[in-house]
Amino acid sequence: MATYVSNVTLFDGRSSRSKAGVLIADGVVEWVGAHARAPRTARAAEPIDGRGKTLTPGLIDCHVHLCYDGSADFAAEARALTSDAVAALKVLRNAEENLRAGVTTVRDLGGRGSSVCDVAAAIERGEFRGPRMLAAGRALTITGGHGGSVGFAREVDGPDGVRLAVREEIRAGATAIKLIATGGVLTPGITADFTAFTQEELDAAVEEAHSWGRVVGAHAIGPEGIVQAVRAGVDSVEHGSMMDAAGARLMKERGTFHVPTISALRGIVDHADEVPAYAVEKATAVTDLAREAFRRSVRTGVKVACGTDAGTPFNPHGNATEELVRMVEWGMTPLQAMRAATSSAAELLRLPDVGAIRPGAAADLVLYDADPLEEIDAVRKPSAVWKAGELVAGAPP
Ligand SMILES: [Zn+2]
């Protein structure tokens, strides 16, 4: 059965127009154009009156941790996760939260064992409901590095060790690779800006991952770690909180994406009385720098993709909507923010069928009662969400 949305304001992932028509059939977008020029086949389709409403591509969150729920003490929650079965159940429930928020594609950047990869495969086979997923399995960190002691990263050293770890994660089902290039906020005892892997280790990891066609994201907060990761050729710098002018220029030159994860910092600093003090101290120390880095990216023309770091304290799954609001608060236009969560995110993840509404693209769609390009808060209330043409949340008018 085909569906035709008439007279709708359409954001196609790049730009916006009014009085558009969109024909969906067999899980893909079949036709897009001016409603007045709708093809004959649209008349036979199930009609949705789009007047006064806005249709966008399904949103993309390039940075989530589906094994974790976002409780106040991340390290405690992560250490308490001692069973793959429990991890898989959490992944499944958290994955589905994304659909309700209009998020139809996510990239998981670190969890327990291969739990996320296994659930992603089950969703892809159609056995469970959830967003499209790329999953990194376990992140790679140096011995004693960020994430190792809390269990979402495996400790590896030396170019050969790192290369082997990339191969092993891919063998276990990883469809993305995550490198921890610096210290982090949520591991006690390590400063956030500490430079972790050597240049040789990063080079080996990226070369190996790319030879398998896997997208590489590097957790990098300190300026030196950022530059090393970009030189190694990572596809995205995650957080990038202390990125300086030289780092931004290099990222612009190399086409490296910045995934700012504003929600990760805000979740911690806005709940300073509940989150452990070591995390509050580190997050507070980098928040102003992170805002500067974000503005620098926007100003310099660094490509920015939306990512939340959902699963970290008070950063629940489906939080890409809040991330969009925060990106606008920090200085993006609503159009720039919406691109970051659609076409730009799809480019980073090398998923050409999502993040756009054009003939042949997957019918991953969100309908809103108000226009997010006029008032970004509108993303908080999707009225209907489709994945591959199937209604997965809400109800059309
Ligand atoms: Zn993360």
Q: What secondary structure does DSSP assign to 174-224, as a single string?
A: -SEEEEE-B--SSSTTS-TT-B-S-HHHHHHHHHHHHHTT-EEEEEE-SHH
Encode the chain (397 residues) as per-residue pLDDT tens digits. 899 999 999 999 999 999 999 999 999 999 999 999 999 999 999 999 999 999 999 999 999 999 999 999 999 999 999 999 999 999 999 999 999 999 999 999 999 999 999 999 999 999 999 999 999 999 999 999 999 988 899 999 999 999 999 999 999 999 999 999 999 988 888 888 999 999 999 999 999 999 999 999 999 999 999 999 999 999 999 999 999 999 999 999 999 999 999 999 999 999 999 999 999 999 999 999 999 999 999 999 999 999 999 999 999 999 999 999 999 999 999 999 999 999 999 999 999 999 999 999 999 999 999 999 999 999 999 999 999 999 999 999 8
Q: Are the CB atoms for 11 and 338 separated by under 8 Å? A: yes
Residues contacting 321, CB < 8 A, separation 6+: 59, 101, 102, 103, 379, 380
Residue 66 Cα to ligand 1 midpoint, Å, equals 10
233 C-alpha to center of ligand 1: Å?
Answer: 19
308 CA to centre of ligand 1 in angstroms: 8
Q: In angstroms, what is the span from residue 361 Cα to ligand 1's centroid?
A: 29
Number of other residues whose CB lies within 10 A of the CB of residue 54: 23
Taking the C-alpha atoms of residue 256 and residue 238, their distance in angstroms, rounded to an integer, is 11
373: CA distance to ligand 1 center in Å? 28
Q: How far is the CA of 30 from the centre of ligand 1 (A)?
A: 36
Q: How far is the CA of 218 from the centre of ligand 1 (A)?
A: 10
Å from CA of 143 to ligand 1 middle: 18
Query: What spacing in Å lies between the alpha carbon of 150 and ligand 1's midpoint?
Result: 12
Q: For residue 64, report the distance from its CA to the centre of ligand 1, in Å.
A: 6
- How many angstroms separate the alpha carbon of residue 191 from the centre of ligand 1? 16
> Ligand 1: distance of its center to the CA of 371 in Å?
30
| Residues 6 or more apart whose Cβ sits within 8 Å of residue 365 | 22, 24, 55, 56, 57, 58, 357, 385, 386
Please report the pLDDT score of residue 157 as a whole number: 98
| Distance in Å from the first CA to the final CA of the chain | 18
Q: What is the 395 CA–ligand 1 centroid distance (Å)?
A: 32
Q: What is the pLDDT of residue 283?
A: 92
Distance from residue 318's CA to the centre of ligand 1 (Å): 15
Residue 393's identity, in one-letter code, is: A
Instruction: Report the C-alpha gap between 311 and 314 in whole angstroms.
Output: 8
CA of 258 to the centre of ligand 1 (A): 13
One-letter identity of residue 299? R
* Cα–ligand 1 centroid distance for 110 (angstroms): 7
Measured in Å, residue 309 CA sits from the centre of ligand 1 at 5
CA of 282 to the centre of ligand 1 (A): 15
Ligand 1: distance of its center to the CA of 135 in Å?
12
pTM attached to this predicted model: 0.98
Residues 6+ apart with CB under 8 A from 258: 236, 237, 240, 243, 251, 293, 294, 297, 302, 303, 304, 305
Instruction: Give me the pLDDT at residue 391, please.
Output: 96
Q: Which residue has the tokens 């094994």?
A: 67
Judge contact between 309 and 261, C-beta under 8 A: yes
